[in-house]
């Protein structure tokens, strides 16, 4: 099922439902360098919820909280904790995207609606995907405002210091055991995406907390969504730990690209972002298999940055600790130097690190 009658141009924004949007926005602003650009809340006439839009280069995060009891947002937070509600796509025709998706078996989360303000107009619609997650289709028709109609430009008078994050490289969804294939089938059927890359539990020593993963990608591979499920190992899979706390399938991590991972991670660390620790032994053997790279391995070791290589080049990556108290959503910082890999060479080191954290939480 290819030949979509509309075009998905890329990730538009990701929206988090959290219990205290003001403080969450402050965290992403001060530790990761996102700039508040738009706002919707009591002051703009929105009585039931508040949203802060944060931007860095081509990344937009929307942080939303309810302003009253018994809301859908509040119910989402009660069930899942703070988490990612919406992975929104920029499209050229929101109504066609919605209609086509429904024809191909998707369920509607929001019928197409035209929204407008003094800066112009846009059309938004949405479909459901795994768990309680949705995909909004955003079509901006010559919209000149800072985000979308209904939002006001957020003029806090603060200038965030960028940490060098550029764009959303991929968004990963965790699924309960046995549901990975059906979610991949959904993306194949509804969007015509293909299986770009996969890893199964045989690729990973089962001593380590295990997973299966398939990366779904659109035709030009600009939009990539790896889909994971837990696999049996001797210990509890990190994916199962996520499912235990999130209760359903949901977004596990956002991978954000940078052109200089050393500078980005150094700044984020200094700002207070906690990353997963990498054992020193990883760097003792790195030189033996990685081949020539531009970066100084001592510096990578100091910052805990992982490296993986494939036939096209290499990539550098690091993972934050969970970004809220439940061990659910986290971010990845990634710099690609030719490689399109998803870090399979790092799974063992990464899983060992995650396992040590799971053990501290009593969840292994």
Residue 236 CB, nearest approach to Fe ion (Å): 20
Give the separation between CA 250 and CA 241, rounded to whole angstroms: 12
Half-sphere exposure of 251 (CA within 13 A, CB side): 27
Residue 210 CB, nearest approach to Fe ion (Å): 16
- Selection from 257, 21, 32, 22 nearest residue 160 by Cα: 32
Residue 253 CB, nearest approach to Fe ion (Å): 6
Give the separation between CA 126 and CA 83, rounded to whole angstroms: 18
Q: How many residues bind Fe ion (CB under 5 A)?
A: 2
Beta bridge partners of 65: 50
313 Cα distance to chain centroid: 24
Residue window 322-341: x/- pattern of binding to Fe ion, with contact defined by CB under 5 A: ----------x---------
**255 lines the binding site for Fe ion (CB under 5 A):** yes
Closer by beta carbon to Fe ion, 101 or else 335: 335
Give the separation between CA 141 and CA 149, rounded to whole angstroms: 11
Residue window 281-320: x/- pattern of binding to Fe ion, with contact defined by CB under 5 A: ----------------------------------------
Give the separation between CA 238 and CA 327, rounded to whole angstroms: 9
Residue 126 CB, nearest approach to Fe ion (Å): 24
Backbone angles phi, psi at 179, to 5 degrees: -110, 0
Closer by beta carbon to Fe ion, 97 or else 255: 255
**276 lines the binding site for Fe ion (CB under 5 A):** no
Backbone angles phi, psi at 26, to 5 degrees: -60, -40
- DSSP labels, 48-66: SEEEEEEEETTEEEEEEEE
Closer by beta carbon to Fe ion, 24 or else 257: 257
Which residue's CB atom is positioned nearest to Fe ion?
255
Give the separation between CA 356 and CA 354, rounded to whole angstroms: 5
**216 lines the binding site for Fe ion (CB under 5 A):** no
Residue 255 CB, nearest approach to Fe ion (Å): 4
Residue 316 CB, nearest approach to Fe ion (Å): 12
**Residues 6 or more apart whose Cβ sits within 8 Å of residue 244:** 363
Residue window 2-41: x/- pattern of binding to Fe ion, with contact defined by CB under 5 A: ----------------------------------------
Residue 212 CB, nearest approach to Fe ion (Å): 15
Q: Which residues of this protein are in contact with Fe ion, per CB under 5 A?
A: 255, 332
């Amino acid at each position: 099922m290819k030949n979509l009658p509309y075009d998905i141009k890329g990730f538009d924004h990701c929206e988090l439902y959290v219990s205290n949007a003001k403080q969450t926005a402050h965290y992403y602003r001060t530790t990761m360098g996102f700039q508040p650009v738009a706002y919707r809340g009591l002051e703009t006439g929105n009585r039931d919820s508040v949203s802060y839009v944060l931007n860095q280069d081509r990344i937009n995060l929307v942080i939303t909280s309810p302003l009253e009891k018994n809301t859908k947002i509040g119910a989402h937070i009660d069930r899942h904790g703070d988490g990612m509600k919406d992975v929104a796509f920029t499209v050229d025709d929101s109504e066609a995207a919605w209609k086509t998706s429904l024809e191909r078996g998707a369920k509607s989360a929001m019928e197409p609606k035209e929204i407008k303000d003094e800066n112009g107009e846009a059309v938004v619609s949405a479909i459901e995907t795994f768990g309680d997650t949705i995909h909004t289709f955003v079509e901006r028709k010559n919209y000149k405002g800072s985000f979308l109609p209904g939002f006001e430009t957020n003029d806090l008078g603060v200038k965030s210091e960028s940490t060098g994050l550029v764009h959303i490289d991929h968004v990963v969804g965790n699924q309960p055991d046995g549901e990975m294939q059906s979610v991949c089938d959904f993306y194949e059927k509804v969007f015509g995406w293909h299986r770009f890359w996969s890893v199964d539990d045989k690729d990973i020593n089962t001593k380590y907390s295990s997973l299966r993963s398939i990366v779904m990608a659109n035709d030009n591979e600009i939009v990539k969504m790896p889909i994971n499920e837990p696999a049996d190992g001797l210990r509890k899979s990190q994916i199962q730990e996520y499912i235990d706390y999130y209760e359903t399938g949901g977004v596990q991590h956002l991978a954000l690209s940078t052109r200089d991972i050393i500078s980005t991670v150094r700044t984020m660390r200094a700002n207070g972002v906690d990353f997963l620790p990498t054992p020193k032994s990883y760097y003792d053997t790195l030189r033996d298999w990685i081949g020539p790279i531009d970066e100084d391995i001592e510096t990578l070791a100091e910052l805990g940055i992982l490296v993986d290589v494939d036939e096209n080049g290499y990539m550098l990556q690091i993972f934050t600790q969970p970004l809220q108290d439940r061990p659910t959503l986290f971010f990845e910082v990634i710099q690609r130097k030719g490689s399109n890999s998803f870090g399979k060479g790092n799974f063992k080191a990464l899983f060992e690190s995650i396992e040590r954290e799971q053990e501290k939480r009593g969840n292994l």
